């Protein structure tokens, strides 16, 4: 099987600890890291040792003219994702770019168009779409087991007081840009990227981080068929109990990356009643409440694998299939545009003062 030569831009938490770890793992059978781009000379030297035989550069433009690169992984700082990716695409490289894919809807569409115009492949590293728990939740909803879905809640919450560059607006940071593409993407994915979906409420605020970017995000989306999608990406929630919760006609689902809990009506053993328009009364003629019996079948599904191992491997397998065989990406770029349109609207409706 043909192996693809890779260049990684960035040797930080993402470039080294996510992408680099995947390339060095036994799960990787399709890629070889031949080039690394990193500003820090210590990290460049370390990369040349960790990726045996690779060559490290200080500037990504030094990759221009190298003919044996099959894929460039853009794991630079967030504000660099769009300009560097656009430059790489225009120079004929296939690119896998980290999230956030873009600052807004325009930039996302522009990168998609630039890739098509230059006949190269563009992929976005939103591996949560290929994480086992997300795929299983999607399978359950698509099966109809829960009946008509009314509300989907997605919460990527916790309590943390972050103090790095991911808290500064000028670095294109904050919860919406940094974490947001995953929960917002999940929310849209679970409604099949419904084109009628509209962001009807948003709230973004700076609460506990050291910078000036949002660390509290609340978004409510509605669809034409009255589904409600509730999204939270908050750093002030010390009691976060789930990542996904679905309330539906026949029951409820809640999920974390490790397990999915289902509580679904046991139709055979639950009472059925016709509507009674008059006041209810018991056998003695006394007023009473409804005594309908609802029994549930409860199920817990343990999930193996996470977005960072299985999801990453699945995404890289899809990128390989796209480059080598020309097949469609499993995470489609066009689907992702709505995520960045929603973030753009969130920030427009909730401007925060810049302090740095």
Q: Report pLDDT digits (tens) over 48-66.
A: 999 988 999 999 999 999 9
Cis before residue 343, ω within 30 degrees of 0? no
Please check whether residues 134 and 116 belong to one and the same domain: no
Confidence of residue 254 (pLDDT cuts 50, 70, 90): very high
Please check whether residues 24 and 85 belong to one and the same domain: yes
Look at residue 166 and tell me if it is in a domain: yes
Please check whether residues 79 and 149 belong to one and the same domain: no
Q: What is the pLDDT of residue 283?
A: 85
Please check whether residues 135 and 260 belong to one and the same domain: yes
Please check whether residues 120 and 145 belong to one and the same domain: no
Q: Which is nearest to 122 in space by CA: 51, 71, 190?
A: 71
The Cα 91–Cα 71 span in angstroms is 12
User: E strands of 68-214, at which residues?
Assistant: 71-74, 95-98, 122-125, 149-155, 198-205
Q: What is the pLDDT of residues 78-90, one digit of tens each?
A: 999 999 999 999 9
State the Cα torsion 340-341-342-343 to the nearest 10°.
50
Q: What is the pLDDT of residues 112-136, one digit of tens each?
A: 999 999 999 999 999 999 999 999 9
List, in sequence order, every residue forming a beta bridge with 125; answer none if it has no partner: 98
Domain that holds residue 115: 4-125+309-318
The Cα 72–Cα 75 span in angstroms is 9
Total of domains in the chain? 2
Q: Is the pLDDT of residue 288 over 90?
A: no
- 352 and 206 in contact (C-beta within 8 Å)? yes
Q: What is the pLDDT of residue 63?
A: 98
List, in sequence order, every residue forming a beta bridge with 102; answer none if it has no partner: none
- Can you spell out the DSSP letters for 149-177? EEEEEEE---B----SGGG-GGGT-SHHH
Q: Which two tokens stand for residue 352?
A: 């925060």
Please check whether residues 53 and 114 belong to one and the same domain: yes
Please check whether residues 84 and 232 belong to one and the same domain: no
CB atoms inside a 10 Å sphere around CB 266: 14
Say what the pTM is: 0.94
Q: Which two tokens stand for residue 302?
A: 């343990």
Confidence of residue 273 (pLDDT cuts 50, 70, 90): confident
Please check whether residues 120 and 182 belong to one and the same domain: no
Percent of the chain with pLDDT over 90: 90
DSSP state of 19: I
The Cα 347–Cα 180 span in angstroms is 12
Look at residue 345 and tell me if it is in a domain: yes
CA 13 centroid distance within chain: 17
> Which has more confidence, 287 or 244?
244
The average pLDDT across 298-327 equals 97
Q: Is the pLDDT of residue 270 over 90?
A: no
């Amino acid at each position: 099987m043909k192996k693809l030569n890779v260049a990684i831009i960035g040797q930080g938490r993402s470039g080294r600890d996510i992408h680099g770890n995947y390339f060095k793992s036994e799960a990787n059978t399709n890629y070889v890291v031949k080039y690394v781009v990193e500003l820090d000379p210590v990290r460049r030297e370390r990369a040349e040792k960790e990726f045996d035989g690779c060559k490290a550069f200080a500037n990504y433009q030094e990759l221009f003219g190298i003919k044996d690169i099959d894929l460039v992984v853009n794991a630079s700082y967030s504000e660099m994702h769009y300009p560097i990716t656009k430059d790489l695409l225009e120079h004929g490289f296939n690119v896998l770019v980290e999230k956030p894919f873009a600052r807004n809807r325009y930039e996302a569409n522009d990168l998609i168009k630039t890739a098509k115009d230059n006949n190269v492949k563009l992929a976005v590293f939103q591996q949560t779409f290929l994480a086992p728990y997300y795929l299983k939740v999607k399978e359950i909803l698509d099966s109809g087991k829960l009946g008509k879905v009314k509300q989907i809640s997605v919460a990527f919450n916790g309590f943390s007081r972050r103090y790095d560059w991911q808290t500064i607006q000028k670095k294109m940071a904050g919860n919406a840009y940094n974490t947001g593409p995953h929960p917002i993407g999940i929310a849209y994915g679970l409604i099949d990227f419904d084109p009628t979906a509209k962001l009807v409420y948003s709230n973004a605020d700076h609460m506990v981080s050291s910078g000036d970017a949002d660390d509290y995000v609340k978004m409510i989306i509605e669809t034409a068929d009255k589904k409600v999608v509730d999204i939270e990406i908050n750093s002030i929630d010390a009691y976060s109990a789930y990542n996904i919760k679905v309330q539906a006609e026949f029951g409820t689902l809640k999920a974390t990356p490790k397990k999915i809990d289902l509580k679904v009506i046991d139709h055979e053993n639950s009472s059925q009643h016709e509507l009674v328009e008059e006041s209810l009364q018991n056998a003695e003629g006394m007023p009473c409440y409804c005594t309908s019996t609802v029994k549930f079948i409860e199920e817990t599904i343990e999930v193996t694998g996470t977005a960072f191992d299985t999801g990453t491997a699945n995404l890289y397998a899809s990128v390989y299939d796209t480059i080598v065989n020309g097949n469609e990406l499993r995470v489609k770029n066009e689907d992702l545009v709505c995520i960045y349109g929603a973030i753009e609207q969130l920030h427009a409706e909730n401007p925060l003062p810049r302090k740095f």
